[in-house]
Amino acid sequence: MSDATSSTRTGDDIQREQQLAAIRAGIDAIDAKLLKLINERSRLSLEVGRIKASGKSAVFKPQREEEILERLTAHNEGPLPPSALTAIWREIFSSSRSLQTPLRVAYLGPEGTFSYFAGVEYLGHSASFRPSTDIVQIFEDVQAGICDLGVVPLENSLQGTVGVSFDLFSRFPVSILAELYAPISHCLLSSSEHFSDIKTVYSHPQPLAQCAIWLRTHLPQASLVPVESTAAAARMVQNNPGTAAIGIGNLAEMLRLNVLARGIEDAKGNWTRFVIISRAGDQHKLGSLAQQKSRGDGSTKSSLLFTLADKPGALSAVLNLFAENQINMRKLESRPMTGQCWRYIFFVDVETDILQEQYSGVLDALKGLCTNLRILGSYPAGPQLDRMWDPDDTAQ
Q: What value does the mean pLDDT take over residues 50-63?
A: 74
pLDDT of residue 57: 64
Average pLDDT of the chain? 86
- Percent of the chain scoring above 90 in pLDDT: 58
Say which DSSP state 353 is in.
-
Question: Is a pLDDT exceeding 60 seen at residue 396?
Answer: no
Binned at pLDDT 50, 70 and 90, residue 280 comes out as: confident
pLDDT of residue 7: 56
Say which DSSP state 396 is in.
-
| Pairwise pLDDT comparison (110 vs 53), residue with the higher score | 110
Of the given ranges (230-244, 296-310, 379-393), which has the lowest mean pLDDT? Answer: 379-393
pLDDT of residue 51: 80
Q: What value does the mean pLDDT take over residues 69-90?
A: 90
pLDDT of residue 283: 47
101 CB contacts (<8 Å, ≥6 apart)? 49, 53, 59
- Percent of the chain scoring above 70 in pLDDT: 90
Of the given ranges (132-136, 142-146, 248-252, 285-289), which has the lowest mean pLDDT? Answer: 285-289
What pTM, to 2 d.p., does this model score?
Answer: 0.79
Question: Is a pLDDT exceeding 80 seen at residue 59?
Answer: no
Of the given ranges (100-114, 142-156, 282-296, 365-379), which has the lowest mean pLDDT? Answer: 282-296
- CB count within 10 Å of CB 323 equals 12
The alpha carbon dihedral of 369, 278, 351, 67 has a sign of positive
Q: What value does the mean pLDDT take over residues 294-300?
A: 58
Q: What value does the mean pLDDT take over residues 369-395?
A: 71
Q: What value does the mean pLDDT take over residues 28-52?
A: 89
pLDDT of residue 284: 42
Question: Is a pLDDT exceeding 90 seen at residue 83?
Answer: no
Over residues 329-369, the pLDDT tens digits come to: 999 999 998 777 788 899 999 999 999 999 999 999 999 99
Question: Is a pLDDT exceeding 70 seen at residue 29?
Answer: yes
| Pairwise pLDDT comparison (47 vs 140), residue with the higher score | 140
Q: Where are the beta strands (DSSP E) in the chain?
A: 104-108, 128-132, 149-156, 160-161, 174-183, 187-190, 200-203, 223-226, 243-247, 258-262, 271-279, 300-307, 329-336, 344-350, 372-380
